[in-house]
Amino acid sequence: MGSRGAGAGGGREHAAGGPAERRARALDEEVRAAVAAGDLGQAERRLAALEGGAFARTPLGAALAASAAALVALATDRPANADALATAAAEHARAIRSPALEARAAVLAGRAQAALGADDVAAERFAEARSLARLAGDGQLAREADRCRAALASRASAAAAGPAERGLTARQLEIALLAADGRTNREVAAALGISEHTVNAHLRAAFRRLGVSRRRALATVLNARAQR
């Protein structure tokens, strides 16, 4: 699922915002929507269409294809592959001078490094993504980078807290800490690269084990236990 290089005429399509660019963007959005919905089969089909079309030979198409492929690789538990694809996406983004696409690639690279256990490198990628997103004026992407950094910090806190002592699994505690910090299920899902359904299931399990029913009570319980 590697990305393709830009072909002749790709720059004209990118600059003009022609049909190839519009088609590439539409397929990219479909890949992301399918991953968010947990429909990996559909995500891979849309990715194949993105990689196989003539638009993948445009500079923008190559950047989007590599980025979408990295996202699918993360969703299918192939972080090393995702990291390589995110690196390729960043190179394509720099070639077309798109800080927004480069920021998106940096977020994906950070998530891949986090999955590989390289938390320090992941934190650097998320910080880079935030800076690029701010440069691009993309507040939503900057917030996503911040959420990913927060998730990374929460994972470290969860590991230090001793999840067995709290009666929660490591994943339940990781999600509970983010929820207690005021993040919505959608924000937690985006930060961890999982579906909202999965977040909800883990959060409900954490509520049951801790004997609470609201996020505010969850924060109170976790803070009290952390001080013991």
The third-level CATH classification (topology) of the domain covering 10-154 is 1.25.40
The reply to whether CATH 2.60.40.3950 applies to domain 162-226 is: no
Q: CATH 1.25.40.10 spans which residues of the chain?
A: 10-154
pLDDT in tens, the chain (228 residues): 333 332 223 333 334 467 778 888 999 999 999 888 888 899 999 999 999 888 888 888 999 999 999 999 998 888 999 999 999 999 999 999 999 999 999 999 999 998 888 888 999 999 999 999 999 999 989 988 988 888 887 777 666 655 444 577 878 888 888 888 788 888 888 878 788 888 889 998 888 888 888 888 877 777 665 554
Cα Rg of the chain, angstroms: 19
162: left (phi over 0), alpha (psi -120 to 50) or beta: left
Domain with CATH 1.10.10.10 in the chain: 162-226
Asked if 200 and 185 count as a contact pair (C-beta separation under 8 A), the reply is yes
| This prediction's pTM | 0.68
